[in-house]
Chain A
Amino acid sequence: MSVPTKTLSALMPGDVSDEHAKRALLAEIDASCRVPLLFFFVSALGWLLVGTLLALVTSIKMHHPAFLAECPWLTFGRVRPAHLNAVIFGWASQTGIGVTLWLMCRLCRVPFIAPGLATVAALFWNLGLTIGIVGILAGDSTSIEWLELPRYATPILFLSYALIAVWGVITFRLRRERHLYVSQWYLLAALLWFPWLYATAQILLVLEPVRGVVQGAVNWWFAHNVLGLWFTPIGLAAIYYFIPKVIGRPIHSYYLSVIGFWSLALFYNWNGLHHLIGGPLPAWMITVSIVASVMMLIPVITVAINHHVTMRGHFGKMRHSPTLRFVVIGAMCYTLTSLQGVANSFRGISEVVHFTHHTIAHAHLGVYGFFTMVMFGSMYYILPRITGREWPSLGLISLHFWACTIGLVVFVGPLTLGGIIQGFGMNDASKPFIDVVTGTLPYLKLRTVGGLLLGLGHVAFVANLVWLLCRVFGPYRAPVIALIKGNESTAAVGK
């Protein structure tokens, strides 16, 4: 279904209509994405706020265990998985799907196909997730990490996801541009990998559970691959698109980006079992996983070099572009968390940091520092285009950026250090366990402070979005073209 080109033009009177006419195809694509993407983004942000609140309750309980302990629905064992699933499936997956849909339309040069179907899929996704989160808080969790949603909720999510994946494949088949950009490789792969991972894990752990140590192997295979084969490809696809678009310069080396994609596709799948070092698994399985983890240096370094060299000479533009600020910080965090992951896969290091808060810091550096920051940047770029309105408050954008960036540092930095100290303490047989536990309290309190800052940033972002949406239904304020197409770049065109 195509949307008339004049959909946005009708919102823009006067002299901007001529300028807008030049953007006919992009405007048609952007306008066609409006309803489903707004549904995905708004509901994702709703889940982000819910997830943040649950995270703060969880974090406070870590240093004040009696906090809200009298209510069974808010005990640690329920709130913590509710936070995880709200953030992973409510925020990260939904905003990732929204960005995927927009990028696919833009790069395939086709308007959004059947936006009504995608909106229904989004509706079912949120329905299934709401049932699942309430189920977890009510005590129906499966108790399997990353798969805590009760079995009566997951079929709804899977049905919804199937609709989205089919949409992605159809859009790809109907593309007007024959050649593929590297972002499309990542997005297509993510759309196909996720259902395979989710279905396999559901069968082996929830529907027909395997026994013994195989449970641990499947669990870590799934949980690690959700990060590496679902969120990572979407995040990298967005980085490869938005950095060149904002600075007006193609990616430094397309061939490096291709190497990065194919090496991720070949090696990442084997990584998860390095989390079971020391566990009762065959040694060869762990060794294969460690080797594959080291092989991940290839995609990580190629991606890091490519992004850095592309940005060289353009870092000053981060001062003016909210998209570039968030995306570049996210790209840096991708490199950091990936190198940290490789290091953690070594037996000697894993013996210290595993079962400590270091792992929590590592996971948040990946899911928040990398993926969430890139998604924030992507939404700053996409939302003005699909709504035809510029962001109403630049102050709220700055507050969002600085609160999240400082909050991330306050959260991840101390927790990483505290986890290492905790690990050495737990490996010291002469040290009483309670001393190790109480020694982590300062780091846990700092984590709560970091979480509060992140929450402040989220509220600022949501307030700005609500303000923007009020403008969509209000009188016309500003020509969006004048704001989104800023200074002419003087940069040389890259290779």
Chain B
Amino acid sequence: MALPGLILLAGVLAVPLAALWALRWASSRGELGHGDRAALLPFDEEEPVGQSTDQILNRPAKP
């Protein structure tokens, strides 16, 4: 197989192979076993769960 063919083949295979490697790495670090905790990562004490943000349109007029 010519060099361009090898580059193309490597290009096509690289993404799923890298994904499989990353999946193994994530599994070994326990990243796949803490879904409940990971789901809360966008939130913190300053912007906690239960608090809406960005509510700026169509608000009732101030008295």
Known: A485-B51, A487-B55. Is A266-B19 also a contact (CB below 8 A)? yes
* B61 part of interface (Cβ distance < 8 Å): no
What are 17 A-B contacts defined by CB distance under 8 Å?
A: A25-B46, A179-B31, A179-B37, A180-B38, A204-B4, A210-B4, A218-B8, A247-B52, A254-B39, A266-B20, A268-B15, A320-B56, A322-B56, A380-B54, A381-B54, A486-B54, A486-B59
Known: A23-B46, A319-B58. Is A488-B41 also a contact (CB below 8 A)? no
Bound-complex Cα distance A152 to B31 (A): 43
Query: Does the CB pair B52–A250 fall under 8 Å?
Result: no
Contact mask for chain A residues 389-420; partner B; CB cutoff 8 A; 1 contact, 0 none: 01100100110000000000000000000000
Bound-complex Cα distance A99 to B9 (A): 32
Contact mask for chain B residues 4-48; partner A; CB cutoff 8 A; 1 contact, 0 none: 110110011011101110110010000110111111111111111
Measured between beta carbons, the chain A residues less than 8 angstroms from B52 are: 246-248, 317, 321, 486-489
B42 contacts which of A22, A244, A267 (Cβ < 8 Å)? A244
- For A23, the closest partner residue in chain B by CB is B46
- For A488, the closest partner residue in chain B by CB is B51
Query: Does the CB pair A210–B53 fall under 8 Å?
Result: no
* A107 part of interface (Cβ distance < 8 Å): yes
Query: Does the CB pair A179–B56 fall under 8 Å?
Result: no
Measured between beta carbons, the chain A residues less than 8 angstroms from B58 are: 319-320
Number of A-B residue pairs with CB-CB distance less than 8 Å in the complex they form: 168
Measured between beta carbons, the chain A residues less than 8 angstroms from B63 are: none
- For A103, the closest partner residue in chain B by CB is B42
Bound-complex Cα distance A484 to B38 (A): 24
- For A401, the closest partner residue in chain B by CB is B57
B30 nearest CB across to chain A (Å): 8
* A182 part of interface (Cβ distance < 8 Å): yes
Q: Which 8 A-B pairs have the closest CB atoms?
A: A486-B55, A265-B19, A254-B35, A181-B41, A269-B15, A254-B39, A200-B11, A320-B55
Bound-complex Cα distance A210 to B6 (A): 12
Measured between beta carbons, the chain A residues less than 8 angstroms from B54 are: 245-246, 320-324, 380-381, 484, 486
| Most chain B CB within a 10 A radius of its CB, from A23, A248, A319 | A248
Bound-complex Cα distance A22 to B44 (A): 11
Those of A290-330 within 8 Å (CB) of chain B: 317, 319-324
Known pairs A241-B42, A250-B42. 14 more at Cβ < 8 A?
A180-B41, A181-B38, A185-B26, A221-B12, A251-B39, A258-B35, A269-B12, A317-B55, A320-B55, A321-B52, A322-B57, A324-B54, A489-B50, A495-B39
Measured between beta carbons, the chain A residues less than 8 angstroms from B49 are: 248-250, 493
B3 nearest CB across to chain A (Å): 8
Query: Does the CB pair A196–B56 fall under 8 Å?
Result: no
Measured between beta carbons, the chain B residues less than 8 angstroms from A322 are: 54, 56-57
